[in-house]
Structure 1
Amino acid sequence: IEIFERIGAAGYARVFHFDDVNSTLFFPKQFLGGAFIAIAMTGLDQEIMQKNLTCKTLGDAQKNM
């Protein structure tokens, strides 16, 4: 029980941070950064996109991802 109290007091148990816009833990920054990375890794990778564009059906392309 003491360990949970220490974790809570230190702030490590917080998942969503909305109070400081300049913090790197600010939730909207984290969300948009993650979305950007996901788009960049899948949408801008020419090899993956070329492979998907050669699929005959949408289902084949979805399985390919």
Structure 2
Amino acid sequence: MALPKKKTSRSKKGMRRSHDHIPAPNVIYCDCGEASLSHRVCPQCGTYRSRTYIKSTADEAD
């Protein structure tokens, strides 16, 4: 079985592992101020690109 002849430095180890991180989600803020994922309908107000797709329960109560 092959074994490494030299110790791998922190720099080389870090360069190899640079793509192993977990990417942070792309969070945007809706017109209503609620944080949501991009390219998705806002869970709070039900709008996407300034159009209402889901009527929220707060709108029905008014």
Instruction: Say whether the fold is shared (TM-score over 0.5).
Output: no
Instruction: Identify the structure with the greater strand proportion.
Output: 2
Q: TM-score normalized by structure 1? A: 0.25
**Comparing both chains, which one has the higher relative contact order based on Cα–Cα distances under 8 Å and sequence gaps of 6 or more?**
2
Q: TM-score normalized by structure 2? A: 0.26
Report which of the two structures shows the higher radius of gyration computed on alpha carbons.
Answer: 2
